[in-house]
Structure 1
C-alpha cells in the first residue's frame, strides 16, 4: 500500500513556534533548506519522511501530532455545511476544502460557526411561537449541547489531564481476580470525604444531597451503571479543580454549555477510571479487542468498552483508531466519535445501509459488516443492540444500537475479523455518510436527493427512485 502523503503545514508552523525557533533555525535543525521548509509550512509540499524522523529524534516530539485527522474532520463538516441550499452556486472542489482545513483551520471553524448560527436562526423562524417564547436568548450561537459536542469532537474525545488523573485514581483500587475493583475504590474515596452512600428502590439512578452528604443510588440499575455513577460522583467531589481548569481552557460561550461540559468531563473521568488507559489497552490487545471478554474482566458494559476503545488517543501510546456511534430506534445519532477518517453527519441519521440499523432486529448478537465509503476506504464495522431496562415491569426500556469499527488494515487485530474474506472487493458493501452529501448515484436506499448533483426526471421512466442522479 502506498504511504499516504502528509500535508500538515499549519501544525508544522505551530511546532516551530512552540519551540520558539525562526524558520532559518528550524530548517537547520531539520537539515532542510529554508525554501523547502517554507513550502512544507504552506502545504506546497508534503512533510518529508526525513523531517518526520528529525522531529522525533531531535526534539522528541510525538509525530502523531502531524496526523491529518482534525483536517479530515473539518473537511467532512465543511462539505456537509456547504451542501446546504443556502450556499448557492458551484460547490468548492474537495482539494480547496482540504487546503483551507490544513492552512486555515481557524477560518474553517469560523465558517462552521456561521453555518451553525444560520441553522439555529432558521429553525427558530420555522416555529415563530417557539421563537417568541424563547425569552430573548441569542439565536446567533450554537446551542450549548452542540458546543460541548464539538469540544469533545475536536479533542479526539481524549482529555489527557483528566484521563491520567482517572488512571492514577484507579491504581489505588484493590484487585479482585487480577483486576481493579473500582466500585470498592469509589466507595472508599467517598467515605474518606464524609459521603454516605445509600442504595434505594427508586427510579432515580443517582441523587446527591450536598447538605447532608448523602448519595442515593438505585438498586435497580445494572452493576456497571452503579459503579459508573459512583465514579462520576467521585469526579464531581474530588476533581473539581482539574475539571474547572479544563473548562477554563475550553472557554465555553454560556454557563449552560459549561454546566453540560462539567457533567461530560465527570463522565469522562468515570469511564477512564473504570477502564484505566494502560491496563485496558493491554487487555484489548491480549483479547484481540473482544468486547464481551473485556466487559467481563472490567465489570463494564459493552457500550462502555466500545466507547473507551474509541478514546485511546494518548500521544505516544495510541490504540487502533476506531469510530464509535450510538443510535436510537429512530436512527438518530445520540453519541458519535471517530478517530478514523470516517466522519458522521452532524445533522440527521446515519446511512441506512450501515449494519448498526439492523442490530435492533437481532438482540444479543454482534453483527459484522465489511463496508466501503464513497472515498474508497474500507472498514470492518461491528454493531450490537444495547437495552437499558428500567428495573421494574412498568418502567420503560430504552433501546439503542452501538456501532464500532476501524479501517480494514487494522482488522487482523480484531477477533471479529476471523473467517472474513478481507481481500475480496465484492465482500464490501457500499455505505455513505448522509444522503444529502453522498456521492453515490445508484443507491436503492436513498431518502433524499444529493444536493451536490443534478437530477434527471423522466416522466416516461421509473426505476427504484423517481429520478436519476447525474454521474
Structure 2
C-alpha cells in the first residue's frame, strides 16, 4: 500500500528544539538546506525518504513514531466534531484538517472540548434536565468521559507504568511458570497478604481488608480473572508514586476523575504485569497473533489478550497497529482503542455492517471479515463473543463481543488471513464508522441520515430508506 506524503513539521521542530539546535545546525546534520528545513517545519513541504532516514540515523528516531500516533486519533475526532450541523457553513478539506492537527494540536483539542460541551448542553436542554437551574457548569465533561479521552489521546500506552510492570514480571517470573502461584507468593512475601477463598455468595470478585491483610477472591471466577485480580492488588500496593505522577500530569478537573483514572491505571499495570511487554510481543509475533494460542500460553482471557495487543506502542519496539473494541448487544462501545487508522466514533453506535454484531449469533467462533471504510482503507477484522459473570445459576451473565483488527497491509502477520483472498476487491464489505458521519449515500443498513447532507424526499417512490441522500 502506498504511503502518503508526510507533513510532520511540528514533530521535526520538536526534535530540533530537544537537541537545542538552530535551523542551520539541524539542517546541516541531516544534510539539507536551511530553507528546506524551514519549509518542512512549517508544513509547506513533505519530508522525503532521505530526510526520514537521516532523522532515524542521526537522532535515533523511530520512523514509525513520526508517521503515526496521536495524529490519526486527533484527526478523526476533529473531523467528527466539524461534521456537526452547527458548522454547516464550513466544510474543511482533509488537507485543512491535517494542517490544523499537525501545526496546532492544542487548538484542535480545544475545539473538540468545546464541541463536546455544546453537545452535552444540547442533550440536557432536550431532556429538560432538572439541573438547568443550578449554577454548576453543565458543559463540563463527566469524569468518565474525561478519563476515557485521557487514555485515548495517550495511545492507551503509559511508558513508565509499562516498564515498571515488565521489570516486576521479570523479577517474579511471570509468563515462565504458574502465574497464580507466583502472584500468591509475591503478595505474601512482599506485602504480608494472605489470599483466602471468598464467600461463594458474595457477588464481589475481590475484597481486601487492609487491617487483617486478607485478600478474598471469588472461587468461582475464571482462572484468568482471579489472576488479574491478584495482579490488580499488587498494582494498588506498588508504584504509587508513578500513579500519582501520571494523574498529576493529566490535570483532571475533579477528584472523581482522578480516582476513576487511578482505577484505569491500576488495571493497566495489572494487564502489563500478566502480559509483560517484550515476552508478549515476541510471543505474538511467533504465534502470528493467534489470540487463542496466546491466551493459553499466558493463562489470560481472550479480552485481556486482545486489549494488550492494542497497547503495544512502545517507542522503538512497536507491535502491529491494531484496533480493539468491546461492544454490548445494543451496539454500545464499552471499551475502545485503536492504534490503526480506523478510529471509533465518539458518539453513536458502531456500524451495523461490521462483523462484530454477528459474534452474538455465533458464540464460540472467531468471525473474520475483510472490510473497507469510506476513505478506501482496507482492514482485516476479527470478532468473537465473550461472557462475563459468575458460575452460579441465576447469576447475571452479560455478553459482549470483542473486535480486533489491522490494516490489510499487516494481514500477513495474522494467522487468520492465510486462506483469505486479500487481493479480491469484491471480498471487502463496505463499512463505516458511525451512521451520523458515514459518507456512504446508498447503504441499506443506515440507521440515521448523515449530518451535513441534504435529503431528498420522494412521495411517488420508495427504496430501502424513506429518503435519498444527495452526493
Could you say whether these structures have the same fold, taking a TM-score greater than 0.5 normalized by the shorter chain as the test?
yes
Is the 1:170–1:182 contact (alpha carbons within 8 Å) kept by the matching residues of 2? no
2:188 corresponds to 1:194: no
SS at match of 2:172: coil
- Residue 406 of structure 1 deviates from its aligned partner by 0.4
Instruction: For 1:68 and 1:239, locate their aligned partners in 2 and report how far apart those are by CA, in whole Å.
Output: 30
SS in 2 for 1:110: helix
Matched residue, 1:469: 469
Q: Secondary structure in 1 aligned to 2:296?
A: helix
Structure 2 SS opposite 1:220? coil
Q: Deviation digits for residues 105-148 of structure 1, max 9, x if unmatched?
A: 11000000111111222233333344259x75432322111111
Alignment-derived partner of residue 209 in structure 1: 209
**What is the aligned partner in structure 1 of residue 394 from structure 2?**
394
Aligned residues: 468
- The CA deviation at 1:161 is 0.8
Output one character per residue of 1:411-465: Cα deviation in whole Å (capped at 9) or x when no partner: 1111100211111000000000011110101100001111132211111111111
After superposition, residues 364-443 of structure 1 pair within 5 angstroms as: 364-443=364-443
Superposed displacement of residue 55, structure 1: 1.4
2:161 — aligned with what? 162
Matched residue SS, 2:203: coil
| Mapped contact 2:457–2:468 kept (Cα < 8 A) | yes
In 1, Cα distance between the equivalents of 2:8 and 2:179?
Answer: 41
With normalisation by structure 1, the TM-score equals: 0.96
Match of 2:448?
448
SS at match of 1:385: strand
Displacement after TM superposition at 1:225 (Å): 0.5
Alignment of 1:61-460 (within 5 A): 61-131=61-131, 137-174=136-173, 179-191=176-188, 192-200=190-198, 201=200, 202-460=202-460
Comparing 206-215 and 40-49, the one that deviates more: 206-215
Farther-moved stretch of structure 1 (360-369 vs 118-127): 118-127
State the Cα distance separating 1:173 from its structure 2 match: 2.9
CA contact (8 A) 2:74 2:153 kept: no
CA distance in 1 between partners of 2:147 and 2:389 (Å): 28
SS at match of 1:348: coil
Secondary structure in structure 2 of the residue aligned to 1:346: coil
Distance 1:3 1:228, change over 3 A: same
Q: Matched residues in 1 for 2:129 and 2:73: separation?
A: 35
Say whether the 8 Å CA contact 1:6–1:68 is kept in structure 2: no
Equivalent residues of 1:29, 1:58 under 8 A apart: yes
Distance apart, 1:80 and its partner CA: 1.2
Aligned mates of 2:193, 2:127 — CA distance in 1: 46
Question: Whole-Å Cα distance in 2 between the matches of residues 158 and 182 of structure 1?
Answer: 23
With structure 2 as the length reference, what TM-score do the two structures score? 0.96
Native 8 Å contact 1:327 1:333 kept in 2: yes
Shift of 1:214: 2.1
SS at match of 2:220: coil
Hey, what's the Cα distance between the residues in 1 that align with 2:90 and 2:139? 26
**Is residue 170–residue 185 contact of structure 1 (8 Å, CA) maintained in 2?**
no
Is the 2:88–2:452 contact (alpha carbons within 8 Å) kept by the matching residues of 1? no
1:243 and 1:265 in contact (8 A); partners too:
yes
SS at match of 2:78: helix
Residues 170 and 276 of structure 1 are in contact (CA less than 8 Å); yes or no, is this contact kept in structure 2? yes
Residues 385 and 399 in structure 2, CA contact (< 8 A), matched pair in contact too: yes
Distance 2:215 2:331 in 1: 35
RMSD: 1.5
CA distance, structure 2, for counterparts of residue 180 and residue 19 of structure 1: 44
Q: Any stretches of 5+ residues in structure 2 without a counterpart?
A: none
The 1-side partners of 2:348 and 2:178 are apart by 40
- Asked if 1 retains the 8 angstrom alpha-carbon contact of 2:206 and 2:229, the reply is yes
Q: Secondary structure at the match of 1:437?
A: coil
Q: Which residue of 1 is the match for residue 52 of structure 2?
A: 52
Map of 1:35 onto structure 2: 35
Instruction: Name the CA distance, whole Å, in 2 between partners of 1:296 and 1:76.
Output: 35
Question: CA deviation digits over 1:319-346, x for unaligned, max 9?
Answer: 1110001000100000000001110000
Q: Is the Cα contact below 8 Å between 2:84 and 2:452 reproduced in 1? A: no
The unaligned stretches of length 5 or more in structure 1 are: none
Task: Give, in whole Å, the separation in 1 of the partners of 2:135 and 2:259.
Answer: 20
State whether residues 385 and 402 of structure 1, in contact with CA within 8 Å, keep that contact through their aligned partners in structure 2: yes
C-alpha deviation, 1:163, in angstroms: 0.7
